[in-house]
Amino acid sequence: MKTTAVFLLVLGSIAFTSCGQTPATTASDKASTSVETNAPNSDYKPAFAGQTRIGGVKTKTPYEVKKLSESLSSPWGITSLPDGRLIITEKGNGTLRIAKTTGELSSPITGLPAVNSSGQGGLLGITTDPDFAQNRMLYWVFAESVDGGTHTSVAKGKLSADESKIENATVIYRATPAHKGSLHYGGRILFDKSGNLFVSTGERSDMVTRPQAQQLNSGLGKIVRITKDGKAVAGNPFAGQADARPELYSYGHRNVQGLAFQPATGELFSNEFGPRGGDEINHVRAGKNYGWPTITYGIEYGGKKIGDAIQQKEGMEQPVYYWDPVVSPSGMTFYSGNQIPEWKNNLFVGCLSGMHIARLVIENNKVVGEERLLKEENQRFRDVTQGKDGALYAVTDQGRLYRIGGK
């Protein structure tokens, strides 16, 4: 039997109907103190005021949180189908599931290329074709085993009429070179308004591959822009440049697991994992260098400095926002619905080690407030998306599916 937990947040008080827990109450407007209370890992200073530890905010509007299911197997990506149902990737199984907004799950959808599920690999991000209602095409990212190691790869295929399998699955892009490792695949994918795909790749974590984030002849540590057939989009910033890959859109990334377009402006934002400290939110622009591993607000996991231990360098972009200590940001989305009006154009970020959903209020491409939602659930939030009904839907590593929306 499905278990459902419902939280009713009403005008600063909460009626809680499951497990006897007591989440924090809501309040109003901006606070002067940060929601982060733990000490940072380094004494690095931000490049500008508000780049980290911004003042906290709390939602005033009543909203409801429902646990719809806890029967998913390591879900990683979630997006909406045109009819309002949700399609979800299962990382280790290499299968898809369709979920109704009541929480009922389909049988596993098969027929995708085999995934390498070691470490951080597996079946990762997913998106639907803008014309899905007519062509039933899906696009996804996965860790693919090849000679010499594994790739971050992109594939496409058609969802069968009976929704039991993917037909004619085809790999359209591989972020080369291959590497014998199991970390930092990136893995998010989404369509822009022109019908092209943005895909994030990781630099694969190891010291030998880390420098490739700065190399334009490598597909590692990048955001790429490709067509539905996996080709470089005409007009990409490095097209025609010697020793540069034409599919590259931005570079100097560590491990981007969040991509989202700001609905009011159409501008692209990303997040990426820092090492020990230095998780980032970035405003992504064509041809820009986001610094890894030359500049960072983090240190090595063992405590050593990274490179020259610098945080700023000419020609390298500063993050819009960073966290130290880390929250491990993963899938994210901007809110454009009407159920919670004060959330309009806010960014919602699933956090793994942070075990919450971060709500970031962004004005003029700067973060001006932060709230931490669903901390009482003690879940590793892997992805969050906005449904067709205007509510937010989130999945967790532990297999849960949540709905967050108006009463």
Measured distance CA(319)–CA(336) in Å, rounded? 23
Query: Is 253 annotated as catalytic?
Result: no
Selection from 184, 172, 176, 73 nearest residue 113 by Cα: 172
Selection from 375, 397, 398 nearest residue 65 by Cα: 375
Measured distance CA(26)–CA(161) in Å, rounded? 45
Q: Do residues 95 and 77 touch, judged by C-beta distance below 8 A?
A: no
CB atoms within 10 A of CB 404: 24
Task: Give exposure, 141-162, as e/b (b: 16+ Cβ within 10 Å).
Answer: bbbbbeeebbbbbbbbbbbeee
Q: Where are the beta strands (DSSP E) in 30-119?
A: 30-34, 55-57, 63-69, 75-80, 86-90, 95-99
Selecting among 151, 179, 184, 356, the annotated active-site residue is 184
Selection from 143, 93, 97 nearest residue 120 by Cα: 143
Name, in order, each residue with C-beta under 8 angstroms of 226's C-beta and a sequence gap of 6 or more.
154, 172, 173, 196, 197, 199, 232, 233, 247
- Residues marked active site are found at 184
